[in-house]
Amino acid sequence: MTGRPIRVALDRNDESWTSQSTYMSNLSDELSSHPGVQLVPRDRSPDIVHLNYLNPIGRLVHGKQSYERHLRDIASIVTGLDASLVVTEHGVEEFSDLRQSMYLDEYPGVSAVADWTKRQLSRFVGSRADRIIAISSMDRDFLVQNGFQPQTVCHVPHGVEESFFESERADEGFVLHVSKCSPHKNPEAVVETARRIDRRTVVVGGGWKEHYGAELAAIDSVELKGFVEKSELQRLYRTAGVFYFPSTYEPFGLPILEAMAAGTPVVASVNSAAGDFDTDGVELVEPERVGEHVDALETLLANPATRRRRGDAARSFAGGMTWEHTAERTVDIYEELV
C-alpha cells in the first residue's frame, strides 16, 4: 500500500447499451465511495489504469463513445504506461471464431482474417497487462489454456443490481429467455425448445425478429418482445416460471444472475458462469442436448412447489453476488500491484 488511496483511472468510454458499460458503471459507483481508492482521469497520474477490453479492434467496430479516446488508449498500451495496467476481459468475442458471435457466414475470408487478427491483438494487450480480470472461472481457464500466464488472470465475477431483488414474486408459469440474438446464444435451441414445450415462452432482446422472426412467429405459444426497458424486464423476471439460457459459450451471463435475484429458477448452459453458482436454484444442461432442456423446463413447469423452492435458493445465492463484493475483490487486485 502507498499510505494514501490508490489512484485509479477507469475506462468509462463504452456506449451505454453494452455489458462493458454496465460493468464499469457499477464498479465506478462502488469504488467512488471506497476509502482505499480515488478515481481520477487518465491525465492525473493514476497508479492503476483499468481498461475494459482485451481485443482493441473489436471495440473499434462498435461500442465506444469516443473512438479518438479509444485510439489514444491503444497508443498508450503500445508505448508504455506510467501506471499498472488492469484489463477486464468480457468474453466470447476475444477468441471464438467470429461466426460464433456474429452473422458473417457470407464472408468467410473476412471472418478468418478477423479471427487471426483479434487473437494476436488480444494476446498483445494481455502481455502488457499486469492483471487480467476474468468474469467467470470458465473464462479464466479458457484464457490460461490459450497461453495467458495463470498468475496474471484473476476470477472476479459480476454483481447484480439491488433493484432486481426488490419486488415480490408473481409466478405466471411461463418460460423467459433474455439475450441479444447471436450465434453463441444458441438461438436454434431456443426456437426448438419453444416448439416442443406446450407453454408460453417469452423471448426478450434485439436481433431475434431479424434472424428468427419467421420461425418464432410460427409457434403460437411464443411472445417476441424485442428490447424492453429495465422496469419491464424486472417485471418479466419476477413473473416468469423459469428462466432459460442455453448459450454454447457465455463468459458470464448477467441475465442468469438477474433472474436469480428475482427469485426465478434457472435452466442454463454448463458453458456459462452458472457453473460457478453452487445453488439448487440453477440446473445445468449441455447446450447441444435440446431434449435435456425440454425435460428440465417441463419438470419445473409442472411443479409449482419445486419452482418456489428452487427460486428461493436462487435468490438466496444471488444475495451474495453484489457489486460491492465485485469492487472489494477488484481493490484487492489493485493493492497487489501498488
Least confident range of 48-57, 273-282, 298-307:
48-57
Q: Buried b / exposed e across 301-333, counting CB within 10 Å, b at 16+?
A: beeeeebeebbebbbebbeebbbeebbeebbeb
Neighbours of 274 (CB within 10 A): 27
pLDDT of residue 167: 82
For residue 210, CA distances in Å to 17, 182, 194, 206 come to: 19, 11, 18, 9
Q: What is the pLDDT of residue 178?
A: 97
Superfamily of domain 162-318 in the CATH hierarchy:
Glycogen Phosphorylase B; (3.40.50.2000)
Q: What is the average pLDDT across 69-81? A: 88
Say how far apart CA 151 and CA 132 lie, in whole Å.
Answer: 9
- pLDDT-derived band at 109, boundaries 50, 70, 90: low
Q: Tell me what pLDDT residue 142 has.
A: 83
Q: From 30, 8, 276, select the one nearest 156 (Cα to Cα).
A: 276
Report which of residues 3 and 208 the model is more confident about: 208
Q: What is the C-alpha separation between 327 and 308, in angstroms, rounded?
A: 31
The three-class DSSP label of residue 16 is: coil
pLDDT value, residue 144: 87
Query: Is 162-318 in the same CATH topology as 6-159+322-337?
Result: yes
Question: For residue range 146-181, what is the model confidence (pLDDT) as tens digits?
Answer: 888 999 999 999 999 999 998 889 999 999 999 999
The class (CATH top level) of 6-159+322-337 is alpha beta
Report the pLDDT value the prediction gives residue 56, as an integer from 0 to 100: 80
Cα 182 from Cα 157, distance rounded (Å): 22
Per-residue pLDDT of 234-253, as tens digits, reads 999 999 999 999 999 888 89
> Would you place residue 105 in the very low, low, confident or very high pLDDT band (cuts 50, 70, 90)?
low
Mean pLDDT score, 95-102: 46
Maximum Cα–Cα distance for the chain, whole Å? 64
Average pLDDT, the chain: 90
Domain boundaries of the chain, sorted by first residue? 6-159+322-337, 162-318
Q: For residue 104, what pLDDT is reported?
A: 46
> What value does the mean pLDDT take over residues 286-296?
97
State the pLDDT at residue 63.
Answer: 80
